Amino acid sequence: MLNSFSGIGRLGSDPQVHKNGESTRTTFDIAINEFYRQGDDLKKKTHWIPCVSYGRLAEIAGEFLTKGSQIGIRGPIKLQECTGEKGSKQRKLLVHITEFEFLSSRADVETDTETVTSSESQTQ
C-alpha cells in the first residue's frame, strides 16, 4: 500500500517554527479549494490540510514561506498523537512533507517553480 499525498494550496498563516536544540520542526496549514456544482450554482469548499516538516526543509519553510504563499507539497500522511487543552489525548492526521515547491513569491508574484526535497536540503 502506498502512502503519499500531493497537493497545491495556500498557507493560512505564517509557519510556526519550533527549535529543540539542533533539530527544527515547522508546522502550517494549507488551504486547498474544491469546486463543485449544486444545481446551477458553482460552490467552493475549502479543506485545511495540516502539515509538518523537519530539519533543513523546516528551516527553509520557516524562512521563505508566509501567509498566503502558494506551494505544492508531497509526503506521507501520518497519525500524530498530541495533548490537547485540559490534558486530553488527541489524534491528528498530518502530511509529513518530504518535498515542496514554491509556486509564488513573498509578494505573491508568479515565478518559476523551484523544488526543494529533504534529501537535497541535507546536502546543502
User: Distance (Å, rounded) from C-alpha 124 to C-alpha 100?
Assistant: 16
Residue 6 has pLDDT above 90, yes or no: yes
Residue at 123: amino acid letter: T
Q: Give 72-112 pLDDT, tens digit per residue.
A: 999 999 998 877 778 888 888 999 999 999 998 655 534 44
Q: What is the pTM of this model?
A: 0.75
Q: Give 45-70 pLDDT, tens digit per residue.
A: 999 999 999 999 999 999 999 999 99
CATH of domain 5-123: 2.40.50.140
* Among 37, 12, 25, residue whose Cα is nearest residue 97: 25
User: Distance (Å, rounded) from C-alpha 100 to C-alpha 8?
Assistant: 9
